Structure 1
Amino acid sequence: MYHYTLHQRITRICEQQGLLLNGDDLGFYTRLCANATAIDSLYRSLYNHHLASDALFERLLLTLIQGHQQRNRELRKRDTEKAAKGQWFLSNEICGMSLYVDRFCGKLNDLPTRLPYLESLGVNFLHIMPIFESPAGESDGGYAVSDFRKVDTRFGTIDDLRAVQKLMQEKEMYLMLDIVLNHTSHHHEWAVKAKKGDPVYQDYFYMYDDRTLPDQFDATMPEIFPESAPGSFTWNKEAGKWVMTVFHNYQWDLNYTNPAVLVDMLDNILFYANLGVDILRIDAPAFIWKQLGTTCQNLPEAHTILRLIRQCVEVAAPGMALLGEAIVAPKEIMKYFGTDLYTAKECDVAYNATQMALQWDALATGDTRVMLAAQQDLLQKPFGCTWISYTRCHDDIGLGYDDSMITAAGFNAYEHRKFLKEYYSGTHPASTASGALFSVNPKTQDARISGSLASLCGLERAIAANDEQAINIAIRKILLMQAQSIFLGGIPMLFYGDEAAYTNDYSYLNDEGKSYDNRWMHRPVIDWQKNEKTKEAGTIEHRIFSGTQRLLKLRKQLPVVGDYKNIRWITPHNIHVAGFIRSMDESHLYCLFNFSNKAAYLTWYAFKEQGYGISNLYDHWNEQRLTVGSDHEYLIIEPYSFCLLESGSY
């Protein structure tokens, strides 16, 4: 709906800022006018009651204008190229890796020398884990930021980052960085001013003189880290106040009921956009709005803020997509893509954390029924958005799928979760895994799982026992898990070290700043002599590297794997096999994964009932042609193996 007064106001401010409305700035001006009503409506729904609402809205508009003015010609050109592709991030040609710079190669200025390694693997999208200033010993892996615009000296400088981005852009590689919207380090300048009693900056956080309101909040807020950081508030002696600290006592939650916080953080978002970030990973968006009497998670206002940010980014940096790192139940995660008028207009990308956990469920049990029970919810993702699909990441593995899904598969939910925790922590008699429980809640016994991909798949134990058969099985498990993530749909995101068979790194136990957090066991320090073994045929490193390399190469060759809402799960004729079809035009790709330690037999009727009338298939992974047999005959899939079967032209 056209808003004349708002349009006039925008024109006046743009002209005052020297924009050429009929020249170079026409595109920006057009986008701003087109999105202005939505921006205004979303903003007013949150802040209309605030005394400084109107003045801060004008500041928001100025922030967008300045963000546009600071965007260089190369980035504007890339915006245009991406727009011509539509939703560029849906492509089958994008394959990613997530890494810690210091643990991967040292510093940012060392990273260019390692890009050829990534390119040889098939990676063209890099998620560089947090690199902005955070205090040593109180960094939470970089998620306790003390300066959003200064690269921590441990990693280099902002100029080093710009140089990496420029080189990546020349190589047609994509870049993802994190922004932590929910909180800052207590060493951030806003927190420092708040500690000194500045009322302006005390209003940037949740700060209270006594326990009255903190106790009311705590009554309904679940503990995030009950072992290491119980409760959601910390007493700050310097300020003489209780401060909301949902994650750790050194991370102060930002108060988004104050519009000044939103505007200042939007300014930081556009700073990241103008560094050349292609996807901005918004950390912990589920927590950004707090309200008494609630869990302070996944509240409607949090979605309003994300939608507002998305509209603003679309205006000032249209080539940058937003990823919402919301690790929540399937029905909740769908809301982060947007609902109603904002369907597919909130976050462009989200982590498919549920599917990741379900793969680990299937690997431990050899049973795919829980995985299949969850798919109806996961298939609700709207067209135009995508997943980050992954087997492993920097974080723990949470068993965040609903009990109803476990029950639907015929299991007792409590006993099932108990088995998974025992299996992956290595205490179950049938387990081959070497992992550990993370963040055990002593009241509920809820826990998550730490451990590297290789160690959880049994490679650590197999190597220790010098058991060649167990090593072979572990490698098959690793490639099985990676294959399903890579072909399921979304942007596949490898975690560094997994491509080169890294088992748990226990050196974190000797670091006082890390020893309390066993997630560091699956965040290895890369030994480049070990990585050289990826070039030596027959080594474990080479077998896993070359297998992963093949998977990524196949993905890029098959447009049908692009995320165009073109997936359908196959009827479960065998409980050990998870299968889905990716379709495009006349091409159909049947992706079948056997999670059992025994050969699986799948009736050919499973293919015929799809209605495509196929008689021949080509298995891209095993490089063989197959003839579809009679209904009483079977496709045989070896233990912990998979098939990528295409019909049509091949």
Structure 2
Amino acid sequence: MQNNRNDEHYFIPKDTSFDTSRVIRPRTTPLLHVYQGVNGRKTAWTTFSEDQIDVNFRHFPVLLEMTDILPEYAYKGAASIRLDAIGFIWKESGTSCMHLPQTHAIILLWRLVLDYFKPNTQIITETNVPHAENISYFGDGTNEAHMVYQFSLPPLVLHALTVHNSRKLTEWAKTIGKVSDQATYFNFLASHDGIGMRPTEGILSEEEKQLLVEKVLQNGGRVSYKTNTDGSRSVYELNINYFDALMNREPMSRKNGKFKKCLRPMR
């Protein structure tokens, strides 16, 4: 934006020959945003939002700089390094621009670099996607992520506690096995992000997902959506504190009725 020749290829400009029809994104906002540079307006790729411009990993100096940063973090004491939204880093025309082979190749490179320069530094991948896609970041269990965020766990636990039935959670949990001696899952229930719903794809029905949406809205939360390749939209995240999502905000009259029922003397 400042017309620095060294930085001009660090971002991905608008390219009318690039087919974006299959691009998968976690937002309903435009894929490209226009910015005012010192020499006029420029358009850049923005997977997430206007204030978060994607960097161009196809430009070798970008890859080199990012690769240099990782061991620097490790040498400064980082025991674990989270690769945030790593699935989106590589773009190819006519593809989903997600989980592409080049993305996995870059993670393989970073794992080799860290294993060589700073062994025992853990790579944690953060990919808020369906379970089968998520676990692809283990690679063969020894060559990509040491830990993968267990994104299906939070919404499935929420569903179990909401409907008072753990069948869906239990059935899914039975499919989770040991990855390897060098890799495992990063289990969590809540984070600074919302409760991801894409990880429930193929596990919860649309009706079961909608039940959670309605519960969150009833409890004062919000829902964010993603635009699908066919132009439709679907739920992406439930934006609410995890404990608030579990609250039962019944009308006071119903609560009083239940309380009085509990106080009735036994006969």
Letter in structure 1 aligned against 2:169: M
One of 229, 233, 236 as aligned partner of 2:32: 233
1:353 corresponds to: 151
**What residue in structure 2 maps to residue 438 of structure 1?**
223
Indicate conservation of the 8 Å contact 1:435/1:449, yes or no.
no
1:245, 1:344 → 2: CA distance?
Answer: 32
Q: Which residue of 2 aligns with 1:455?
A: 244
Flag the 1:350–1:263 CA change in 2: closer, same or farther, 3 A: same
Matched, 1:207 2:13: yes
Do the aligned partners of 2:217 and 2:223 also contact (CA within 8 Å) in 1? no
Relative distance call for 1:308 and 1:419 in structure 2 (3 A) is same
2:243 maps to amino acid: A
2:254 maps to 1:254: no
Pairing 1:287–2:88 present: yes
1:15-94 matches, within 5 Å, as none
Aligned to 1:389: 187
> Which residue, out of 125, 135, 160, partners 1:362?
160
Listed as ranges, the gaps of 5+ residues in structure 1 are 1-194, 407-412, 427-433, 471-650
For 1:389 and 1:313, locate their aligned partners in 2 and report how far apart those are by CA, in whole Å. 23
Q: 1:421-570 residue pairs with structure 2 within 5 A?
A: 421-426=213-218, 434-441=219-226, 443-458=232-247, 461=249
**Within the alignment, does 1:224 sit opposite 2:26 as a pair?**
yes
Q: Summarize the Cα distance change of 1:441–1:296 in structure 2 as closer, same or farther, 3 Å threshold.
A: closer
C-alpha distance in 1, partners of 2:84/2:199?
A: 20
The number of residue pairs the alignment matches comes to 251
Rounded to whole Å, the distance in 2 between the matches of 1:404 and 1:333 is: 13
Matched, 1:311 2:103: no
1:417-448 CA deviation, whole Å, 9 max, x = no partner?
1112112222xxxxxxx242331358434242
| Partners of 1:286 and 1:223 in 2: CA distance | 10
Give me the CA root mean square deviation: 2.7
Q: Which residue of 2 aligns with 1:264?
A: 65
Give the TM-score, by structure 1 length.
0.36
Alignment of 1:106-255 (within 5 A): 195-208=1-14, 212-213=16-17, 216-217=19-20, 219-226=21-28, 230-238=29-37, 239-255=40-56
* Structure 1 CA distance for aligned equivalents of residues 35 and 187 of structure 2: 40
Aligned-partner SS, 1:282:
strand
Measured against aligned partners, the alpha-carbon deviations of 1:486-508 in whole angstroms (never above 9, x if no partner) come to xxxxxxxxxxxxxxxxxxxxxxx
* Structure 2 residue identity aligned to 1:439: S
Q: Corresponding residue for 2:261?
A: none
The alignment status of 1:415 with 2:207, answered yes or no, reads yes
Counterparts of 1:289 and 1:253, CA distance in 2: 10
CA distance in 2 between counterparts of 1:279 and 1:264 reads 19
Indicate the SS of the match to 2:235: coil
State, as a whole percentage, how many aligned pairs show the same letter.
22
CA pair 250-319 structure 1, distance change in 2 beyond 3 A = same
Contact 1:330 1:354 survives alignment (8 Å)? yes
CA distance in 2, matches of 1:330, 1:380: 15
- Going from structure 1 to structure 2, the CA distance change for 1:287 and 1:453 (only over 3 Å counts) comes to same
SS in 2 for 1:252: coil
